[in-house]
Structure 1
Amino acid sequence: MRAMTITAEHRLELTEVPEPVPGHGEVLVDVVAAGVNRADLAQVAGHYPPPPGASELPGLEVAGRRRDTGEEVVALLAGGGYAEVVAVPEGQLLPVPAGMDLRDAAGVVEVTATVVSNLVVEGGLREGETVLIEGGTGGIGTTAIQLARRLGARVLTTVGSDGAVARARELGADVAWNRRTTDLLAAVREAGGADVILDVVGGGEALAGHVGMLREHGRLVIIGTLGGASGELPVGLLMGKRARVIGTTLRSRSTEGKREILAATRELVWPMLEDGSLRVPVHARFPLDRAEEAQAVLREGGHLGKVVLEVTAH
């Protein structure tokens, strides 16, 4: 099969490799399209190796057809998605949302599962609370804004340009700021603070700033390290607010853990995708052999929603 492998020079290269052999409880999926995620960029750069036993190929989500039944499915992976065939534990499959094109569906499962696991399961976001979502126009951000609004939360978000402010508002954000020109700590405090912060920045100066934005009993949920992998934590301030810092990742969870998150995602989000009340925008599609160009879109920023690789003909 064709697949994108990672070279010693940290580049992507189209190669012929053997098809995966399914293990116990796994099924083969013939891939139509794959979603592109920031974790893929980190893996290619050598900073985010796959969990033990996972495929060395990049790619955390695909849409395609089960080889055993022909059913159209989406799959949440620990790796291997940049390929024509993947082997997936059956518990990490969901049916494609009714009415959704397979190519668009390739960018759905990772972001929706990430948002549900972090805003709902870990963050405990409730109706009437205020949430700050960093990176409001990316794949996770666009989904998180919409879901938070559907849950009855007040939504604050950051974006990368003045032009993106209007796009974030159209998705449902109550307030959006250009992070490059805004004193975010002051702005969020003026807006009354946040009960939950969905944080893709992680360390650096942002860590202390995010704690400073939290309300009493607030929850800072860290899901990325764009600002660094470490930072100074103002413990006294955290204690005084009786707040929590939650670090979490989806990729390294067990199959059973992923199964539980996918069940919650299907119950909560799939009806919204099917009736059109929540959508995951697709910014661009690239053929598999142009995966480096697809990743460059994420690296440069400014995109709205997901980038998808078209692996085989629909």
Structure 2
Amino acid sequence: MNSLLQTSIFSSLEDELKLVASKIESAKVVQLMAPADIEGVLALAQLESALLDNSQHYRRRVLSPRRHVSRDHVPELPEVDGLIIHIDPFHETQSAIEINDDYVHIFPLSVSVKFGSSSKEHNGAVECVAICAAIASILAPEGARVRKQRSMAISGSWLRGGADSDYDPVLSLIREHLDSEGSVDICPLPEVPSPEIEMIPGLSKMMLKRLSKGWPKMDVEQRSSAISELVLPALRLDGISTMRLEELVWHRIMIPGNEVDIASQLYRANSLWPEDIEEAKIHASSTLDSLITSGHL
């Protein structure tokens, strides 16, 4: 794995992330807390994997889900001993991590990023899963479980909705980084064995099936023309941004060895998430255990 800190996403956050990692390493017990939403589970998996790789004592506390609660809601945290790492995916975007003696509050952070040698800056937000993945890579850079979670480091960016705007530079940079280090493969939709097509409005399942069958024999021009015809109904409908459509058509992110792309995994997992608070907590814990073991949803 190549360090996530090498990307321009984390260049301004490196000192903060290393401070958080240092506090975790020196803590007698780490209290991990996150809401019982898929965003919380994905972030917890990154940190728990690092702590397990390092054989460090920690406790997990799954809080009530936040997906249907206003952003300004302040969750009540249990009083516990040790270092609290509170992962708060639905918090308003801030400029710096909140770091106190026995409490670290992780939430989405605003960043300015650059691509390659370009001097042009793009503004975006890095969310909790990627932040926790970066911290995990500091704690256990060669950890087996951390490596297994690496592909999912991009999952929070996909869920956050930046791709629903015109452009999400953070999503693009993380995708490029994970692809370059071999943690993910980027495939066009016809090359994905088991995609969820419901994410693209108006997409014909039969048309995609025929296209996938003939795809290997097509040249670049034929593929481009066929894809354009496939997604034409989606372009005529509201409900999906140009960037998200492009990601779903040309940049399906695959975990090597897995037949279901990450976007499809997230879509399926979200559709099965319980609405009841207590059921959501139980479901979150079982999903988290499975995610840490398998590296995918």
Q: Which has the higher helix share?
A: 2
Which protein, 1 or 2, shows the higher relative CO under an 8 Å CA cutoff with sep ≥ 6?
2
Task: Tell me if both proteins adopt one fold, taking TM over 0.5 as the criterion.
Answer: no
Q: Which has the higher strand share?
A: 1
Query: Structure 1-normalised TM-score?
Result: 0.27
